[in-house]
Amino acid sequence: MNPDSPAPSRKFKIIHRDSFCLAAHKPCGIPTYRESRGGNAPGLKELLEDQLNQRLFPVHRIDADTSGLVLFALDPKSAAAFTRLFKEHKVKKTYHAWCSGEVPAKGIIRTPLKKNKSDETESARTDFSRLKTSKGFSLVEVHPHTGRFHQIRRHFESMGHALAGDPLYGNPDAWKPFFKGPVRLMLQASMLEFIHPFSRKPVRIKTKEPL
């Protein structure tokens, strides 16, 4: 157990586990792993290590405000293999989000995005399809093909359909009617699909937690 991390007050759901990796559902509001810029608070990695009494190796990350699937390797060799999958874009990622307004039935967003803390832009691609609309908001399924900083959030804001509850790119006046309870970013990493680097079998990991 990490002596610097408090004992977790809740159990995190393990969605998938094999001899090389595990995937857990990360709630909104905590980082994927400890970050010094975030006040040194423990992230999902540290809290899971305490919960499982096992060391974990991060291979990717999602934003603290985003909920959903995070994959961890169980040893350094596995970490290198899974990190390579993500870097080579061999992991298909599916997100779900609620956004303001009625978006087109489907589309591809290719708006270039500035690098974090830079004026230099990078190419970016986000595919989406609308699943349903409700009271002036759209539920969309999203497949990012690149991994730019806040890509999904910035791409939908560029269309005029910022995500509900987005504290950085949204408009509280626009999405206030959406929430009956606490406000949070309505973006979830729902599914990961890849060819397992060791078994060579296709893997599909899907969270059943509601958005």
> Which residue has 């959903």 as its token pair?
68
Alpha helices (H) in the chain, listed in sequence order? 44-52, 76-87, 151-158, 172-175
Of 10, 16, 9, the closest CA to residue 208 belongs to 16
Query: With contact defined as beta carbons under 8 Å apart, do 151 and 109 qualify?
Result: no
Of 99, 160, 104, 150, the closest CA to residue 127 belongs to 104
Residue 1 CA to residue 55 CA, distance in Å, equals 9
Side chain identity at residue 52, one-letter code: L
Residue 202 CA to residue 200 CA, distance in Å, equals 7
Residue 116: count of CB within 10 angstroms of its CB: 8
Residue 118 token pair:
């830079």
Query: With contact defined as beta carbons under 8 Å apart, do 69 and 190 qualify?
Result: yes
Active-site residue set: 63
